[in-house]
């Protein structure tokens, strides 16, 4: 019986942390060896982290990555390793090293370079043109990288036709809600189309705006899920791949036995490369397939936010964070996520009441802080607000109060949070949600002041779902019901409500999704059944607040299109549909 | 005598302003017709503006651009037109419409799509594969777009070999200091290599971070400059192209008569397309070639900043701007540029003295405002600063004064400027220079608060040059000598000097250029002869202030690599050379 014991190491690396990343890789190799693994796989660009962006223009960055690859090669006695790194020939390549028993046997260069959404790989890499098939312990193995497997009749197919029974894909595929399902279906189709086992190793961890969710998986030649790794956690998934089943199925599959093989792209060619033979792992004790339960949608998003928050804070060398607590749902959710990510000792809440703060808001902030066990500082902004109005009296003599006075308050709060940050080294979290960022219902340098915008990509309606989800997990009202049930308000003028300025979020959010994430026209959205005035107002607000978003802190992408690198619009733009 | 009278319309269009852009195009066509022009050319993507970025994902944006192209076609009786637009077939293309006498005769698709620096064209466009040669009034004409002509043995060569005697290149090539020279040399080489006349039409105007400098030019078959358009201004350059000279030279050029033609890339193919015959323009009165004088380097940069400033403000619908005047060189230069761009009536200076402001600084700001004839508002921040310290007393009880207190002052000033902006609709200009932005010697939400960062890409040493240049043009001390001669200081604590925190700018700026613009390693820069501690300190400061730059307002690119879209580094990054 030909069996290949694979270990898929979904590790959490940090961009540019060569020493740390190498250590993680070596640790996984050691563990895999002790488990009798024949072949261990690591994510795309595991050596340097993903995405390295313009660090790739620094020759010393590439060199360091090559040096660390050499170090990894030295520690591979007795097994095969596939690991992502940056290869440098006459140009640079997004590459996979195929290492066997202390020797670098081959290097695969990614063929399909994504250059859409958050990806800019054409900016950096030359595309590969070869997709070899490797023979490891008598098993045919194809290796390719991330985007490569998203194309039908792509490198995986070429490799299968050349004899690969196992397709290894190493990825750094960023999370968004619902992507996991789509990915699993696609990988299942690739496996069954090519009558091959697909072993997909994905990165895990947060990197600026992105969260990689792990969820590595193995699918058999029927396209069935055989094993799945943890989501949002490091994992080493060890599976015995039943290569005999592939052979048997191919013998009986008329589709497979067709004589003419049509490949979509003939630019790249295949070659057979035999890695030195290692003993089969057939004699080792059998492993039971292991699958991790799939979470609910709010659960998945919540965990993505926790991991993204944890990694942004710690990878950037911070320990503690500070959050302005208004008593509202957004800051309450952000604080809860922060506590789950960093522990209650590392989260400081600041209540900054003004003349317009309701007593309910102040007590809600206190109750939340108590529920979460965090320190709460109270700093009234009244004195400073009063002083601001005084020094501007001359200038504002003939003007009526308007949004100016509201923004002054928000900016005083921003100044206080930043002062605490500067003095004590705490990172400031902003608390704006996607609905607010989309419509510009935020104050630049005010509530937008901070280093990380945890729920920047979470629409307000999902904010509520996440709060309820977290309470249900806690089995108690961690986020007070009064916070969840009150009408949203910025409390920057008497009796203010969000609905004074915006349509209700139930109406607004689906319109924003259609306009921002799906590029639907105003006309199309109205045709979908939404009110003309709501759609036009929303589109106008989105268009005219681009300048604010350009100065927003980064936040975690959880939808198919986040603000940030994912959506690049000019500020200077006279194209408006209404 | 075969002559072709060409009109190159370097126009200032606005992204998404289809009505306005169409109007400009039609106006130029009318003027060209009255001047007996046979062929008028417009810049790359003149129809929609450049770069349209993710607006290209909106189908209605593409449609609007096609409708406007139809409108242009209707108005082309009696002449030929080449104009840039977005073509939509099975995908979208960066295209040139070749129109003749009311008919669309052909469409050229850009072949080489730039995807480096500020460019992301692979994100949007499919590359063209055909480069036809057109016959207009018996003259062979090749049309290609921007990047296409930067490749030797590229489309221009293919077109020349197919019979083109005139190569039309339409561009949207952003300015940086020194690029004009390089461009002229390159175009001269293309012309002489291909024994063809090159007519290069470049966009003019500001668009967010970019300034397009115009400087359209015609080079003859010897590579000599025949005509040059204005720099940083709209222009219609009308030239009689001496096509007979091309024919004569080709007859006598052994290089040209070689039998084997080797082209770098065989993917695209040529075809001959005959446009309907129009009468020669030989009988028209001869035109004298016209060339515009080339400016000095500081003069060129200064004018780039003025145009970029003018266009950002007006294209975004603002009239007036407000600037905090510290009495220092940076804010003085920015204010002078603002007055040159917008007029003194549209610039408001705000002096915001604190307990640490020297009397010299206050009087320097007053003198500058007087010299420039602008309104000066004075708002002392003392009361607000005092109030801030008071409300933070409890929190800061055990802490020593540090950069926190300095930042509080800067952020109070940011709040005041934004309050004036909110109340009166004035756009806030920030005044930080490139040396400060590079090293993070700025306060986020403080002096970085504002909509546009005029001198963001100007190193401090160049700031001085620009100030002196402007004074020399004025023939008087517009920017007071005391401003130019004082030691730079943020005046946020007693006796503060920039050199307390940074190396002197004469030492710092060349190191920053090597590190930021040229990607040299710390080791290489030390080998260039700079002090180890200066280089290491500068590199560390640049690396660790990425998070500030991510929230900085846009500013005008004037160097080969600006901060912004031009340089994309992760915030989360553990790669440090020292």
pLDDT of amino acid A269: 66
Phi, psi dihedral angles at B401 (to 5 degrees): -60, 140
Residue whose C-alpha is closest to residue B237's, from B213, B215, B266: B215
- Cβ–Cβ below 8 Å for A381 and B391: yes
Minimal CA separation from B314 to chain A, in Å: 10
Give contacts of A572 with chain B, Cβ < 8 Å: 14-15, 206-208, 311-312, 315-316
Give contacts of A554 with chain B, Cβ < 8 Å: 550, 571
Question: Which single residue is written with the structure tokens 């921003």?
Answer: A414
Residue of A nearest to B383 (CA): A387
A386 part of contact set with chain B, CB < 8 Å? yes
Question: Which single residue is written with the structure tokens 């603000």?
Answer: A563
- State the alpha helices, DSSP H only, in A162-242: 179-193
- How many C-beta neighbours within 10 Å does residue A529 have? 7
Distances (CA, A) of B94 to B52, B81, B574: 11, 17, 39
Contact criterion met (CB below 8 Å) for B112 and B147: yes
pLDDT of amino acid B259: 43
Residue whose C-alpha is closest to residue B42's, from B219, B236, B233: B236
Give contacts of A430 with chain B, Cβ < 8 Å: none
Interfacial B residues in 297-326 facing A (CB < 8 Å): 311-312, 315-316
- Which tokens is A289 given? 């397939």
pLDDT of amino acid A153: 84
Count of CA atoms in the C-beta half-sphere (13 A) of A298: 17
Q: What is the pLDDT of residues A535-570, one digit of tens each?
A: 999 999 999 999 999 999 999 999 999 999 999 999
pLDDT of amino acid B261: 46
Q: What is the pLDDT of residues A411-444, one digit of tens each?
A: 999 999 999 999 999 999 999 999 999 999 999 9
Confidence of residue A288 (pLDDT cuts 50, 70, 90): low
Q: What is the pLDDT of residues A446-478, one digit of tens each?
A: 999 999 999 999 999 999 999 999 999 999 999
Q: Residue B529 burial (CB < 10 Å; 0-12/13-18/19+)?
A: exposed
Minimal CA separation from A402 to chain B, in Å: 8
Q: Which of A58, A391, A395 sits opposite B384 (nearest CB)?
A: A391
Residues 6 or more apart whose Cβ sits within 8 Å of residue B117: B561, B566
CA-based radius of gyration for chain A: 27
- Cβ–Cβ below 8 Å for B422 and A414: no
pLDDT of amino acid A257: 61
Give contacts of A14 with chain B, Cβ < 8 Å: 572, 574
- Which tokens is A514 given? 């259609």
Residue A279: pLDDT over 60? no
Q: Which of B208, B567, B576 sits opposite A570 (nearest CB)?
A: B208
Interface test with B, best of A423, A430, A536, A560 (most B CBs within 10 A): A423
Q: Which of A206, A415, A571 sits opposite B554 (nearest CB)?
A: A571
pLDDT of amino acid A86: 98
Give contacts of A15 with chain B, Cβ < 8 Å: 570, 572-575
- Cβ–Cβ below 8 Å for B567 and A386: no
Residue A265: pLDDT over 70? no
- Cβ–Cβ below 8 Å for B418 and A403: no
Average pLDDT estimate for A395-405? 96
- Cβ–Cβ below 8 Å for B53 and A568: yes
B1 part of contact set with chain A, CB < 8 Å? no
Identify the helix (H) or strand (E) that includes residue B280: none
Q: What is the pLDDT of residues A21-31, one digit of tens each?
A: 999 999 999 99
Give contacts of B50 with chain A, Cβ < 8 Å: none
pLDDT of amino acid A287: 67
- Cβ–Cβ below 8 Å for B14 and A207: no
- Cβ–Cβ below 8 Å for B567 and A20: no
Task: Give me the sign of the Cα torsion angle B469, B471, B474, B476.
Answer: negative
Give contacts of A408 with chain B, Cβ < 8 Å: 415, 419
Question: Which single residue is written with the structure tokens 């799945």?
Answer: A228
Mean pLDDT is highest, among A151-160, A245-254, B259-268, B506-515, for B506-515
Q: What tens-digit pLDDT sequence spans chain B (578 residues)?
A: 678 999 999 999 999 999 999 999 999 999 999 999 999 999 999 999 999 999 999 999 999 999 999 999 999 999 999 999 999 999 999 999 999 999 999 999 999 999 999 999 999 999 999 989 999 878 999 999 999 999 988 999 989 988 899 999 999 999 999 999 999 999 999 999 999 999 999 999 999 999 999 999 999 999 999 999 999 999 999 999 999 999 889 888 777 765 434 444 455 566 777 775 555 454 566 666 666 677 789 999 999 999 999 999 999 999 999 999 999 999 999 999 999 999 999 999 999 999 999 888 899 999 999 999 999 999 999 999 999 999 999 999 999 999 999 999 999 999 999 999 999 999 999 999 999 999 999 999 999 999 999 999 999 999 999 999 999 999 999 999 999 999 998 888 888 898 888 899 999 999 999 999 999 999 999 999 999 999 999 999 999 999 999 999 999 999 999 999 999 999 999 999 88
- Cβ–Cβ below 8 Å for A384 and B387: yes
- Cβ–Cβ below 8 Å for B568 and A412: no
- Cβ–Cβ below 8 Å for A550 and B553: yes
Q: Which of B386, B519, B574 sits opposite A15 (nearest CB)?
A: B574
Q: In sequence order, what DSSP letters do the residues of A58-92 get, joined into one string?
A: -HHHHHHHHHHHHHHHHT-TTSEEEEEEEEESSSE
Residue A55 and residue A58: Cα distance in Å, rounded? 5
Give contacts of B577 with chain A, Cβ < 8 Å: 60
Q: Which residues of A are catalytic?
A: 44, 110, 146
Give contacts of B315 with chain A, Cβ < 8 Å: 572, 574
A14 part of contact set with chain B, CB < 8 Å? yes
Q: Which of A61, A206, A570 sits opposite B15 (nearest CB)?
A: A570
Q: Which of A58, A420, A554 sits opposite B519 (nearest CB)?
A: A58
Interfacial A residues in 24-63 facing B (CB < 8 Å): 51-55, 57-61
Minimal CA separation from B318 to chain A, in Å: 11
Distances (CA, A) of B43 to A458, A474, B48, B82, B207: 41, 61, 11, 9, 14
- Which tokens is A230 given? 């943890």
- State the alpha helices, DSSP H only, in B441-531: 460-474, 481-485, 498-501, 505-512, 522-527
Q: Which residues of B are catalytic?
A: 44, 110, 146
How many beta-carbon contacts under 8 Å exist across A and B? 231
B551 part of contact set with chain A, CB < 8 Å? yes
Give contacts of B390 with chain A, Cβ < 8 Å: 383
Minimal CA separation from B185 to chain A, in Å: 26
């Amino acid at each position: 019986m030909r069996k290949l014991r694979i270990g898929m190491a979904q590790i959490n690396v940090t961009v540019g942390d060569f020493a740390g990343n190498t250590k993680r890789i070596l640790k996984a190799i050691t563990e895999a060896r002790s488990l009798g693994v024949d072949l261990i796989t690591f994510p795309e660009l595991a050596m340097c982290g993903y995405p390295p962006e313009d660090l790739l223009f620094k020759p010393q960055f590439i060199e360091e990555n090559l040096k660390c690859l050499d170090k990894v090669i030295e520690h591979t006695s007795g097994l095969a390793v596939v690991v992502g790194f940056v290869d440098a020939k006459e140009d640079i390549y997004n590459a996979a090293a195929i290492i066997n028993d202390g020797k670098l046997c081959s290097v695969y260069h990614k063929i399909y370079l994504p250059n859409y959404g958050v990806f800019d790989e054409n900016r950096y890499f030359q595309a590969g043109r070869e997709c070899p098939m490797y023979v490891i312990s008598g098993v045919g193995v194809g290796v390719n990288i991330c985007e490569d497997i998203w194309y039908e009749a792509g490198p995986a197919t070429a490799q299968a036709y050349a004899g690969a029974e196992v397709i290894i894909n190493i990825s750094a595929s960023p999370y968004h809600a619902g992507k996991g399902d789509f990915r699993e279906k696609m990988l299942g189709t690739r496996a069954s189309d090519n009558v091959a086992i697909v072993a997909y190793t994905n990165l895990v961890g947060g990197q600026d705006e992105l969260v990689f969710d792990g969820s590595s998986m193995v699918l058999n030649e029927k396209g069935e899920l055989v094993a799945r790794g943890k989501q949002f956690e490091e994992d080493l998934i060890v599976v015995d791949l039943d290569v005999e089943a592939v052979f048997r199925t191919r013998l009986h599959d008329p589709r497979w036995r067709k004589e003419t093989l049509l490949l979509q792209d003939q630019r790249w060619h295949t070659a057979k490369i035999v890695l030195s033979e290692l003993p089969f792992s057939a004699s080792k004790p059998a492993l039971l397939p292991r699958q991790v339960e799939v979470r609910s949608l709010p659960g998945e998003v919540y965990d993505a936010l926790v991991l993204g928050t944890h990694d942004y804070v710690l990878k950037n060398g911070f320990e503690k964070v500070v959050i302005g607590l208004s008593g509202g749902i957004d800051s309450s959710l952000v604080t809860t996520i922060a506590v789950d990510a960093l522990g209650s000792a590392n989260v400081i809440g600041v209540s900054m009441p003004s003349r317009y703060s309701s007593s309910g808001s102040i007590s809600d902030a206190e109750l939340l802080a108590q529920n979460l066990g965090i320190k709460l500082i109270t700093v009234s902004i009244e004195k400073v607000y009063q002083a601001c109005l005084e020094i501007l009296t001359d200038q504002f003599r003939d003007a009526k109060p308007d949004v100016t006075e509201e923004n002054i308050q928000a900016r005083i709060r921003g100044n206080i949070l930043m002062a605490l940050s500067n003095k004590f080294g705490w990172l400031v979290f902003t608390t704006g949600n996607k609905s607010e960022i989309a419509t510009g219902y935020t104050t630049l340098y005010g509530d937008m002041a901070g280093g990380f915008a945890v729920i920047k990509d979470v629409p307000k309606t999902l904010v509520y779902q996440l709060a309820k989800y977290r309470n249900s997990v806690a089995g108690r009202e961690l986020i007070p019901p009064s916070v969840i049930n009150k009408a949203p308000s910025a409390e920057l003028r008497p009796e203010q409500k969000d609905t004074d300025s915006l349509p209700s979020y139930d109406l607004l959010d689906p319109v924003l999704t259609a306009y921002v994430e799906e590029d639907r026209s105003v006309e199309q959205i109205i045709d979908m059944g939404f009110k003309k005035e709501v759609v036009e107002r929303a589109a106008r607000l989105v268009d005219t607040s681009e300048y604010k978003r350009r100065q927003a802190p980064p936040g975690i992408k959880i939808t198919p299109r986040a603000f940030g690198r994912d959506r690049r619009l000019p500020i200077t733009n006279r194209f408006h549909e209404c």
